[in-house]
Structure 1
Amino acid sequence: MLKPNFVKKGDKIAIVSTARKISHKEISEAINIVEKWGLTPVVGSTIDLEYNQFAGTDDDRRQDFQRMLDNNEIKAIWCARGGYGTIRIIDLLDFSIFMKHPKWIVGYSDITVLHAHIHNLGISTIHAAMPIDIHKGSEESRQSLYDSLFGKKIKYNIPSFEKNKTGNCKGKVIGGNLSILYSICGSKSSIDCKGKILCIEDLDEYLYHVDRMLQNLKRNGYFDGLSGLIVGGMTKMHDNNISFGKNAKEIILEIVRDYSFPVVFDFPMGHIEDNRALIMGAEISLEVQKESVTLKYM
């Protein structure tokens, strides 16, 4: 995998929206953070733009993102928020200049479309908090994004959850939002998981639908030859009046019960306050022990 150059003080970082509409006021705290880091924020034309629920039309969002992709002065593109909409423009984007001069693409949730698609181009991206919520998150979340962008050494140690499947593994870390991974199955953005470590997280889903999505990933071979599974926040899950009978963790364990790879629950990523940055496509080692979990870059 090719890693873009890490940023340095004075570099320009673009803030655009590929999905739901967002105002300049909503990203003001993020702009302050970027400036405190010594970077120069460049606010895209999609900020304050509205077209129904979107940050402008599909073409508005495509053009804004494309401009930032093609501008060599921009060293990172920070997606302002998720919601829905990135999948509507992914096939309209031209990555030819980006592949010659790659830069960091940063975000999570709906931005999983970009993480997956760009992974297939052989370039790393950063799964991390976005301008809409970075100021609401933990200091560890903000620091991890800073460290990822500036190329600092990263290592995560977290307590082990009792239902984790212990073991050690190595591989490229991939994935993101479960609903998005489900939505791109069968497309050219779908990812090959063999020998890799898959991360999943999600928000505001019914438990039966979590099962449906995981069954589909299983049928698409996502767990065949997988090196390890990291489960982040499965936040605000819902059940029907007639209970599904399992919570999200139990659903996941049932899906992967016939596989031998280690499984980590409650990893700090996703729609939670402590949303640590992960460099997608980077080689990591994952040690899952009874007392603790260690993730480090190789």
Structure 2
Amino acid sequence: MIIPPYLKPGDTIALAAPARKISAEEIAPAVALLELKGFKVLVHDSLFGVDNQLSGSDEERAGSIIELLKNEDVKAILFARGGYGSIRTVEHIPQELFAEHPKWLVGYSDVTVFHNLMSKLGIQSIHGTMPINFPKDGTENSSISSLVDTLMGRGTKVSAAPHHLNIKGEAKGILTGGNLSVLYSLAGTPLDTIPEGRILFIEDLDEYLYHIDRMMMNLKASGKLSKIAGLVVGGMNDMRDNAIPWGHSAYDTICDIMKGYDIPVAYGFPVGHQEPNLAMVMGATVELQVTDSGASLVYTNA
């Protein structure tokens, strides 16, 4: 895996919007706080483009990312928000540019598309909070602190409290995954992740409970679950149900499907559409440790 250069004070972080549109007011707290942390912040001219829900046309969104990749002053690209649209953006970006100009790509949710692309290209990226989530009052929270530490190479592990559904054990592998719905949408495409021997991470938001079962059954039926070394489950937030209830929580559904796999499984990781949303290095080699006292992902090469 290619590890992009870690940041130092005075380096430039660029903001880009590969998916849903965003306003200057929404990113202002992030710009101010990142500058306060000692970084320069580049707000690309096209950041506030509008094409209905999207932040400009597919070509405009891709064009801004191409420009930022080629900009040698930019050391990291922080995606402003998710929503939907990244899959439409990446097909207009020559893939060789990511390897020719390796830099940290940061985001989560719909940005899972980019994490999968980076995984296919052998480049590490950061699953972490985005400007849309920065507190409006300008305060720093644990999600932001974790992101800054990870960008600067100070991240060593991510830990979670004990959970009654955990399956204890240890495993080592490359961390991969992201938003479950996006992973499901990429199945069978060139961006589909091959998880053999890897630690798979999943999280999701605002899905019907039976959809979680459908997507997990896809991972099972495709043989992916039988190939992974371990599973890490982050937030499964704001789930919905039908008039006739599904009858199981998202975690219980995942737990039922994971029966029979002799691998460690950790629930309740503080990552996803929630606070805290701690930063994780996708593509890093990690050790997953699940014990009575909790679970942790320890970086061995991040």
TM-score, scaled to structure 1:
0.97
- The percentage of counterpart residues that share the same residue type is 43
State the 1:138 CA deviation. Answer: 7.2
Q: Distance in 1 between matches of 2:92 and 2:208?
A: 31
Aligned to 1:269: 271
| Correspondence 1:79 to 2:84 | no
Q: Distance in 1 between matches of 2:244 and 2:155?
A: 48
Q: Distance in 2 between matches of 1:219 and 1:194?
A: 15
8 Å Cα contact 1:185-1:217 kept in structure 2 = no
Which residue of the other structure, out of 144, 150, 156, is the alignment partner of 1:154? 156
> Over residues 7-47 of structure 1, what are the superposed CA-to-partner deviations in whole Å (9 max), with x where a residue is unaligned?
11111111010000000110011101211221111112332
Q: Distance in 1 between matches of 2:97 and 2:228?
A: 32
The CA RMSD measured in Å over matched residues stands at 1.4
8 Å Cα contact 2:202-2:232 kept in structure 1 = yes
Compare 214-223 and 272-281 and name the one that shifted more: 214-223
| Correspondence 1:9 to 2:9 | yes
8 Å Cα contact 1:16-1:45 kept in structure 2 = no
Aligned to 2:196: 194
Q: Distance in 2 between matches of 1:28 and 1:138?
A: 14
Aligned to 2:34: 34
> Over residues 78-129 of structure 1, what are the superposed CA-to-partner deviations in whole Å (9 max), with x where a residue is unaligned?
0000000001121211132331220000000000000001110000000000
**Structure 1: which 5+ residue stretches go unaligned?**
none
Q: The residue matched to 1:135 in structure 2 has which SS?
A: coil
Q: CA 1:97 to 1:156, structure 2 compared with 1: closer, same or farther past 3 Å? A: closer
Q: Distance in 2 between matches of 1:263 and 1:42?
A: 40
Amino acid at match of 1:70: K
Q: The residue matched to 1:252 in structure 2 has which SS?
A: helix
Amino acid at match of 2:183: L
8 Å Cα contact 1:165-1:262 kept in structure 2 = yes
Q: The residue matched to 1:195 in structure 2 has which SS?
A: coil
Q: Distance in 2 between matches of 1:128 and 1:242?
A: 35
Q: Distance in 1 between matches of 2:94 and 2:250?
A: 37
Q: The residue matched to 2:9 in structure 1 has which SS?
A: coil
Aligned to 1:210: 212
Aligned to 1:114: 114
Amino acid at match of 2:178: G
**Structure 2: which 5+ residue stretches go unaligned?**
none
State the 1:157 CA deviation. Answer: 3.2
> Over residues 257-283 of structure 1, what are the superposed CA-to-partner deviations in whole Å (9 max), with x where a residue is unaligned?
121111111100000010000000001
Structure 1 runs of 4+ with >6 Å offset: none
TM-score, scaled to structure 2:
0.95
Aligned to 2:51: 51
8 Å Cα contact 2:108-2:128 kept in structure 1 = yes
| Correspondence 1:93 to 2:93 | yes
Aligned to 2:298: 296
Aligned residues: 298
Which residue of the other structure, out of 248, 251, 266, is the alignment partner of 1:249? 251
Q: Distance in 2 between matches of 1:40 and 1:278?
A: 23
Q: The residue matched to 1:183 in structure 2 has which SS?
A: helix
8 Å Cα contact 2:33-2:140 kept in structure 1 = no
